Amino acid sequence: MAYLERYTVQIVPDLNAQLARFLAGEADVFSAANADQVAQVLERIRANRLRAEIFPNIDVTLATNFIVFNWNHKDPFKENLFRQVKFRRAMAHLMDKKSMIEVALGGLGQPQWSPISIPNKAFFTDDVAKFEFNPQRALQLLAELGFRSKNRDGWLVNAEGKVLEFNLVTNQGNNVRERIAQIFRDEARKVGVKVEYRPIDFNELVRQLTSPAADGTREFDAILIGLTGGIEPAFARNVWQLNGSLHAWNLGVGGKNPAKVEAFEVLIDTLMTRGATTLDQAQRRQIYVQFQKVVAENLPLIYTVAPAYNPARLTRLGGMFPKEQINSIVGQAPYIETVFAKE
């Protein structure tokens, strides 16, 4: 048994190359990026070709994925529709998060209901409104908005014969997001909501999201995108404050507040400012718990699923966290000083 004289940090940008290094025993710690990698590590361990342990789905990562609707649409019909909380709740009811985890994340991940990342234990709360997968309930809510009958093609229409339709885009090349978007589209189309899904270039997506025209309107209908989470909710103020540059659903022009603002948006803005200017930890938690409740209730961003954190390590390592202490923020060991090699 020996404490480490030195350790090497290998920077391997490619996910498959990272896996190959761990499988070859050339890296001591590793984090499997997806279910396929987890399976490969497990297979190696079971075949006795690698003396290692892996902790699949032990936690989720800080990343969040959500669908955002455009409240600044040039089409007044769509703008009005997207601003209805009933519409957004109906869309939440159409999200089959179980399938999303199964298909998009290979069974490894957790459903997300509110904006604070699940590993962020200091502020995260699970006690929020959850509009779970329920197409019947979605149909009821849409009926309350006037979409009571279906046209000849099977799409929901309102009394004026307007079809309930929108485009959903996400950035090309992100397999997880592309699959989540497809699952949402398929479920929505089953009940008669005409969702057209298309992956587009990332920079084009950012332009559509963040660059309103001079009159304040934006082009997109709905975007599935993710933001990196942090351990301090106030770091995401640009998303939640009214004049924020990432107030994605209802964006103001030139750093100003949006023209038309709902009451709950003001409340979120206030809570964010209070959270960012309070030092007392208990009060901070209270503020952010309320913040999560307001967001989950009103769904300005409709959260989908959080990908799993699947750390792995060679069994020759000691001085690491036991299973129950591993988390995606700190990792498998608090400090390298505690780590030793058994052989």
Partner 1 sequence: MFAYVVRRLLQLVPTFFGATLLAFLVIQLAPGDFVTRLELDPTQDRESIANLRQQLGLDQPLPVQYAKWLSGILQGYLGLSLSYKTDVWNVIGQRILNSMVLVVLATLMIYLIAIPIGVYSAIRKYTWPDRTFTVLAFLGLAIPNFFFGLIMLFLAVWLNDLTNMRILPIGGMTTEFIHLGNLTRAAGLLFPVALLGTLVYAGLFWWKSNHGQPVSFGVWVGLVMFGVSTLLMLFPLLQGPGLPERLPYTESPLWARITNVLWHAFPVVIVVGTSGLAGLMRVMRGQMLDVLSQDYIRTARAKGLNERVVIYKHALRNAVIPFIAGIGGLLPALIGGAGLVEVTMAWPGITPALLEAISAIDIYVIMGLITITTVLLMIGNVVSDLLLAWVDPRIRYS
Distance of closest approach, residue 307 Cβ to partner 1, in angstroms: 17
Reduce the DSSP state of residue 76 to 3 states and report it. helix
Residue 207 contacts partner 1 per CB under 8 A: yes
DSSP 118: T
Query: Can residue 239 be called a binding residue for partner 1 (CB under 8 A)?
Result: yes
Q: Is 133 in the site for partner 1 (CB under 8 A)?
A: no
Applying CB under 8 A, which part among 83-91, 145-153, 160-168, 226-234 lies near partner 1?
226-234
CA dist 230 and 208 (Å) reads: 25
Residue 10 makes contact with partner 1 by CB under 8 A: yes
- Among residues 202, 273, 276, 319, which is the contact residue for partner 1, using CB under 8 A? 202
Rounded Cα gap, residues 202 and 206, in angstroms? 6
What burial letters (b/e) apply to 267-300, b meaning 16+ CB within 10 Å?
A: ebbebbbbbbebeeeeebbbbbbbbbbbbbebbb
User: Residue 288 and residue 114: Cα distance in Å, rounded?
Assistant: 11
**Which of these segments, 181-189, 205-213, 278-286, 307-315, binds partner 1 (CB under 8 A)?**
205-213
Q: Which is nearer to partner 1, 17 or 213 (CB)?
A: 17
177 binds partner 1 (CB under 8 A): no
CB closer to partner 1, 19 vs 191: 19
How many residues form the binding site for partner 1 (CB under 8 A)? 31
Name 24's Cβ contacts closer than 8 Å, sequence gap at least 6: none
* Contacts of 141-145 spanning 24+ positions with Cβ under 8 A: 141/86, 141/87, 141/89, 141/90, 141/93, 142/86, 142/87, 142/90, 142/193, 144/86, 145/81, 145/84, 145/86, 145/87, 145/90
d(CA 338, CA 343) in angstroms, rounded, equals 16
Question: ∠ CA 49-309-30 to the nearest 5 degrees?
Answer: 40
Residue from 227, 287, 289, 301 binding partner 1 (CB under 8 A): 227
DSSP 8-state code for residue 103: I
Residue 175 within binding range of partner 1, rule CB under 8 A:
no
By CB under 8 A, the residues from 266 to 305 that bind partner 1 are: none
Annotate each residue in 247-266 with x if it binds partner 1 (CB under 8 A) or - if it does not, as one string: --------x-----------
Question: What angle, 0 to 180 degrees and rounded to 10, lies between the N-to-C axes of helices 281-298 and 263-276?
Answer: 160
Evaluate whether 214 touches 199 at the Cβ level (below 8 Å): no
36 makes contact with partner 1 (CB under 8 A): no
Stretch that binds partner 1, among 207-215, 262-270, 275-283, 315-323 (CB under 8 A): 207-215
The span from the CA of 91 to the CA of 133, in Å, is: 9
* Binding segment toward partner 1, per CB under 8 A, in 69-77, 130-138, 162-170, 221-229: 221-229
Is 336 a binding residue for partner 1 by CB under 8 A? The answer is no
48: contact with partner 1 by CB under 8 A: no
Choose, by CB under 8 A, the member of 73, 177, 237, 313 that binds partner 1.
237
Residue 206 lies near partner 1 (rule: CB under 8 A): yes
Footprint on this chain of partner 1 (rule: CB under 8 A): 8, 10, 14, 17, 20-21, 24, 26-27, 49, 201-204, 206-207, 209-210, 225, 227-228, 230, 235-239, 244-246, 255
